[in-house]
Structure 1
Amino acid sequence: MKIHVYDTHVLTAQGQHIHFDVLVNDEHIERVQEFAEQYLAKLKVPATEIKQHRCNFCHSEVASPNVQQQIAEQGHSIIRL
């Protein structure tokens, strides 16, 4: 399965830098921002605390079996960097 990697950087109002990748297939490209926001919510970072946010396409690659399974189950995979 070919997937697309979106390099995501968030700076909170308190100065915390959060860096992660959002991995999706062709079917879910339009939902990358939504998946990033869901992940931040799981980290308990509310939108009001985000000072800067960047989520840019980085590259495409062949997904590992684990990432393929996550995308099949939830539409995306997140890798915390």
Structure 2
Amino acid sequence: MKVAVWDTYVTKKDGNVMHFDIIAPEEIKDTTVIYSYGRDYLKTKGQDGQPLTSKECSFCHIETVKPDWEKSINQQGYFIYEMENCN
């Protein structure tokens, strides 16, 4: 399975910037869907309501799905790869 990686930087309520990737099947090109995945994730981190638009999230590249991502993608449609300030 090929997946699209969407590079995302969201300013948290405390002013720090979260850096994470939204990883979804490559067929999903509708940014409304991608942003909804990001907003769902932000809610789990207590950051609901923070802006998530094309300014914060953009397509980066296509790659082959990694085994640890595939389960999440099969269950919820996407995987979040946390990089910076996601706690």
Q: Provide TM-score, normalisation by structure 2.
A: 0.80
Provide the C-alpha distance between the structure 1 equivalents of 2:45 and 2:22, rounded to a whole number of angstroms. Answer: 15
Q: Output aligned runs, 1:1-81, within 5 Å.
A: 1-30=1-30, 31-47=33-49, 50=50, 54-81=56-83
Q: Which has the higher helix share?
A: 1
The question of whether the paired residues in 1 share the 8 Å contact of 2:26 and 2:62 is answered with no
Detail structure 1 runs of 4+ shifted over 4 Å in the superposition. none
- Identity of paired residues, percent? 29
Q: Provide TM-score, normalisation by structure 1.
A: 0.85
Provide the C-alpha distance between the structure 2 equivalents of 1:69 and 1:76, rounded to a whole number of angstroms. Answer: 9
Amino acid of the residue matched to residue 68 of structure 1?
Answer: E
Where does structure 2 lack aligned partners over 5 or more consecutive residues? none
The count of residues paired between Structure 1 and Structure 2 equals 79
Where does structure 1 lack aligned partners over 5 or more consecutive residues? none
